[in-house]
Amino acid sequence: MGEEGFSSDSALLYHQGVPSAIVDASPWELPAQGLTENRPLLPRHLKLHQLTGEDWKAADAVTGRRLVLGNADVRISYVAAGQPSPLYRNALGDECVYVESGGATVETVFGVLAARQGDYVLLPRATTHRWIPTGSEPLRLYAIEANSHIAPPKRYLSRYGQLLEHAPYCERDLHGPGGPFLVEGTDVEVLVKHRGSRGVTGTRYVYPTHPFDVVGWDGCLYPYTFNVEDFEPITGRVHQPPPVHQVFEGNNFVICNFVPRKVDYHPLAVPVPYYHSNVDSDEVMFYCGGDYEARKGRASGRARSACTRAGTATARSPARWSGRWVRSSSTSWRSWSTRSSPSSWVRAALPRRTPPTRGAGRAGGRADDGIRARQPPVRRLLPSGRRAAGRGAPR
């Protein structure tokens, strides 16, 4: 399994069966993929929790997704799920799925991932997997589906792919799958999302044996999780530009975190200071918890899980879009942002409805670090003897 014509990252998967054998193929009717032009061009405030009611108990994390925004480079969907999903893979591009709340087991052809609140789940293109919610609460997911690959920003990587010292996270904060996950079965259905003559479409394949028959694998291409709490913010005495918040990037878009940090601490600094126009990017922000400095004086509870969109033609200030935003302090909590190519966002047509190394990471390890330590690294292992994060001043 390799990217870019086997001239980029790849992995070798050792199957017990024949992965190319197909018994049957039929069309899969995807959830509504219709888009509506954003005209007149206006900022949008989408209250995503209002898209779901008690319906979440019967929904799954794949077929229950509601497309919210999309363009030629990336699509954003939201779902609240309570049921296991069917087996699924996305042949259009990588997926980066943020777990707003709840927990899940993500079974993949590489092995099993444990997903918890605050996790980004990175799934390479064409990775067969399924979501199984855990617990009694809805599993709320914010899914970013790319038409490309999603990876750490290039400026944080060495020429060999290792995360550099100034990066806001390191390899030990990335958690890959465990050991082999084998399942027996015959005539197994897998839903595949792919390109068609009219855009995004789907096919339902039937395989003679279960695709989870991989007894081992090696390489640098595999799914992993990264928790937002392990993101070490880069701060400064004066206001830092938005690229310091970046966590991942794809073709023509980036993903940023806004996490607790010391805000603009020079005596003469003006926190979150100015009106601005980001003329080369449309911006989408997902408010998923706590307070945010840019929305000072507003009650945070009303904006929980709000999704906002601002276009390149709109000048905006940190606090003047509307009276419905979140309150803030210097202990701001996480929100989530996507920036994409200019003036090409369209709204989804929404119907009305009543590789870790052993030991703790920078923000603390997980209980299963001992097991995860036996996995292959992401890109490469940390050099032996590298110190853990210190207690010095914020970066």
Q: What does 132-151 look like in DSSP terms, one character per residue?
A: EEESSS-EEEEEEEESS--B
Contact 252, 265 (CB under 8 A): no
The pLDDT value given to residue 186:
95
| Residue 65, C-beta contacts closer than 8 angstroms, at least 6 positions apart | 31, 77, 78, 79, 141, 143
If phi > 0 it is left, if psi is from -120 to 50 it is alpha, else beta; for residue 272 that is left
Every domain range in the chain assigned CATH 2.60.120.10: 14-229
Q: What is the pLDDT of residue 259?
A: 87
pTM, rounded to two decimals: 0.79
Q: What is the rounded radius of gyration, in angstroms, for the C-alpha atoms of the chain? A: 21
Locate 14 and state its tokens: 């050792």
**Token digits for 198?**
């009219």
Please tell me the distance from the alpha carbon of residue 357 to that of residue 370, in angstroms, as a whole number.
9
Residues 6+ apart with CB under 8 A from 375: 176, 177, 178, 355, 356
Q: List the one residue out of 330, 286, 343 whose CA is nearest residue 42.
A: 343
Residue-wise pLDDT tens digits, 315-330: 554 433 222 222 222 2
Q: From CA 118, how far away is CA 229, in angstroms rounded?
A: 7
Low-confidence ranges of the chain (pLDDT < 50): 297-302, 317-335, 342-347, 349-395
Per-residue pLDDT reduced to its tens digit, 366-390: 444 443 444 444 443 333 443 344 3
What is the DSSP code (8-state) at residue 43? -
Which 3 state secondary structure label does DSSP give 168?
A: coil
Q: How far is CA 255 from CA 14, 78, 151, 186, 328, in A?
A: 33, 16, 10, 39, 21
Looking at residue 86, the DSSP 8-state letter turns out to be: P
How does pLDDT run across 49-96, given as a tens digit for each residue? Answer: 888 878 899 999 999 999 999 999 999 999 999 999 999 999 999 999
Could you report how far apart the first and last alpha carbons of the chain are, in Å?
A: 38
Architecture of domain 14-229: Sandwich (2.60)
340 in helix, strand or coil? Answer: strand
pLDDT for position 313: 54
**Residue 39 CB neighbours (<10 A):** 8
Asked whether the beta carbons of 314 and 38 are under 8 A apart, the reply is no
Token pair for residue 82?
């309570």
pLDDT score recorded for residue 130: 98
Whether the Cβ atoms of residue 83 and residue 104 lie closer than 8 Å to each other = no
